[in-house]
Structure 1
Amino acid sequence: MTRIFSWAAQVSDRDATVASLKAAKGSFGAFAQVTAETEAEAHAASEAGIEMLVCRASNVAKVRKGAPRAFITAALGFANAITDEEILRTAFAALIDGADAVLTGRRLEVVSLLASEDIPVVGHLGFVPRKSTWVGNIRAVGKTGDEALELFHKFCRLEDAGAFAVECELVPARLMAEITQRSSLVTISLGSGPSAEVAFLFSSDICGETDTVPRHARKYGDLASLNRQVEAERIRALSAFRTDVAGAAFPQDSETATIPDEALEKFLNEVDR
């Protein structure tokens, strides 16, 4: 744990910093990152020893409250910050709320814009879901020689633009191993094999919030079953309430307020006069 000043100029402890992430270059699996959008999710991840969290920029304050020591990356939404001024305002607001870095899949000029303000920028390469129409379907990126070479050039351009790290999504593992040793970028692997400084999975996949998970993920919990139990119990309780209302079994005397006889009598005398 390291003590720093946050972007809000507050003395803060962090499980990771930009400096420690860069110093870990070549130490694969040195850090773990998961998603968190609520205070509860962030707290659980922090208690589990997860050093890094990523969330929407609008949720940084809640996530920071749940995980005071985590390295938080704020994802800048494509639609929430469009112009350069909006991008900067959104980024600085997220940093003041407690973020340590920002994530963007926008053009290189945006990366340079942010980096020129000394904002730690994480890029996004490989399979970028919102841009999947360009690769035709949901698939790994870099499986042909030409595509692998183009991907490497994107790493180089992202590095030149000023990013310090990159989320690498669905890059073939052997290609990822070759690229990461040829780049000074801190690599964050999401479905791109073990050759990265940071291993990243979505909390929803880890905790089993759905019955199926992507091929690159692993389900460690079964919240889906628990959620079904919660939903069934909610319906059971609500149904019982409705039945009692229909049968005049709710409310009972013990569940209602009372008024003394003399007070009610006085009220009735006054009203009926």
Structure 2
Amino acid sequence: MVTKSSRPTVADIRAMKGRGQKISMLYVTSVEEAAAADAAGVDMLSIEGRFFTPEMREATGRCFVQVGLPYGPAGDLVTSEDYLKTAYHFMRIGGDCFYCAASLDIQKALCDNAVPVVAHVGLIPSQCTWTGGFKAVGRTAESARAVWDHVKRLEAIGCFGAELEVVPDRVAELITRNTPLIMLGMGAGPHADAQYLFSEDVLGHTAGHRPRHAKTYRNFAAEYERLQRERIAAYREFISDVQTGAYPEPQHVVAVADEQLSAFKASLGL
């Protein structure tokens, strides 16, 4: 059994950056994906709070787990106290660090209470209306400087790391080499501290838009389609058996002794 003391810590992840060691990171949504990531040796996992349960923590094994705190219209956290209570709840379950894309004052409140915070810079999906939608950020000197300044503000309030999403590779390299924050790269080139992908992209069953930085290693979509065809076929066979009387067979029913059935009928006057 994996104990809390045997899992990586914030200090361990920071040491990986200090050694220049690349960090593998996946976003997962199921116990099966979490267990597979642990068995494969993935370093970090990102799990939204809605999926993070004691069972999920157990499945993640030795992986360092980032728990996503809900934010924006889909979330129900508003105040610093809301975020802090939720972070403490997930910390008790076994979260190792906490994704938070809320305001700097909320992020600082978490940091001030020794909660390891992972912020978000570059393309921030929940705030992308301010940067022109779902597209790269940092392609101009002005935009790159804005990303740099954002990182420096996160440093100042004590953040542990930041997701660095869809930023030009050379801009990401300059930022990563000049910050103590763990930079979790998603579409930010090879120089970020971590390479972060969604499990659905890695396994080839992406729902909706497949980002440019995604790399697919298996074709689960075809397997899921095959399984769905088999599921429908099995259901149709079941319906046919019900209609023809082929189901249930003797092994599917509970037997009763003749004398007991006779006594039951007699009690009913039948």
The two structures have a TM-score, normalised by structure 1, of 0.90
For residue 6 of structure 2, give the secondary structure of its aligned residue in structure 1. strand
CA–CA distance in structure 2, aligned partners of residues 100 and 128 of structure 1: 22
Determine which of 173, 179, 185 is the counterpart of 1:177. Answer: 173
Match of 1:70 in 2: 63
For residue 266 of structure 2, give the secondary structure of its aligned residue in structure 1. helix
Match of 1:87 in 2: 83
Please list every run of 5 or more consecutive structure 2 residues that lacks an aligned counterpart in the other structure: none
Determine which of 119, 128, 132 is the counterpart of 1:132. Answer: 128
Q: Confirm or deny: 8 A CA contact 1:210 1:223 kept in the other structure.
A: no
Deviations 1:54-102 (A, max 9, x none): 1122415233100221111111001132211111100011111101111
* Counterpart AA for 2:30: T
Match of 2:26 in 1: 34
User: Is 2:6 the counterpart of 1:13?
Assistant: yes
CA–CA distance in structure 2, aligned partners of residues 98 and 132 of structure 1: 31
* Counterpart AA for 1:71: F
Aligned length: 264
Deviation at 1:26, TM superposition (A): 5.8
Give 4+ residue runs of structure 1 displaced > 6 Å after superposition. none
For residue 167 of structure 1, give the secondary structure of its aligned residue in structure 2. strand
Match of 1:111 in 2: 107
CA–CA distance in structure 1, aligned partners of residues 197 and 20 of structure 2: 15
**What is the alpha-carbon root mean square deviation over aligned residues?**
1.9
What fraction of aligned residue pairs are identical, expressed as a percent? 32
For residue 192 of structure 1, give the secondary structure of its aligned residue in structure 2. coil
CA–CA distance in structure 1, aligned partners of residues 263 and 4 of structure 2: 65
* Counterpart AA for 2:203: C
Counting only pairs closer than 5 Å after superposition, residues 159-238 of structure 1 correspond to structure 2 as: 159-210=155-206, 213-238=210-235
For residue 65 of structure 1, give the secondary structure of its aligned residue in structure 2. helix
Deviation at 1:119, TM superposition (A): 1.1
Q: Confirm or deny: 8 A CA contact 2:123 2:167 kept in the other structure.
A: yes
| Larger displacement relative to structure 2 (100-109 or 28-37) | 28-37
CA–CA distance in structure 2, aligned partners of residues 176 and 193 of structure 1: 7
Please list every run of 5 or more consecutive structure 1 residues that lacks an aligned counterpart in the other structure: 4-9
Higher helix share: 2
Determine which of 89, 92, 96 is the counterpart of 1:96. Answer: 92
Q: Confirm or deny: 8 A CA contact 1:101 1:121 kept in the other structure.
A: yes
* Counterpart AA for 2:80: D
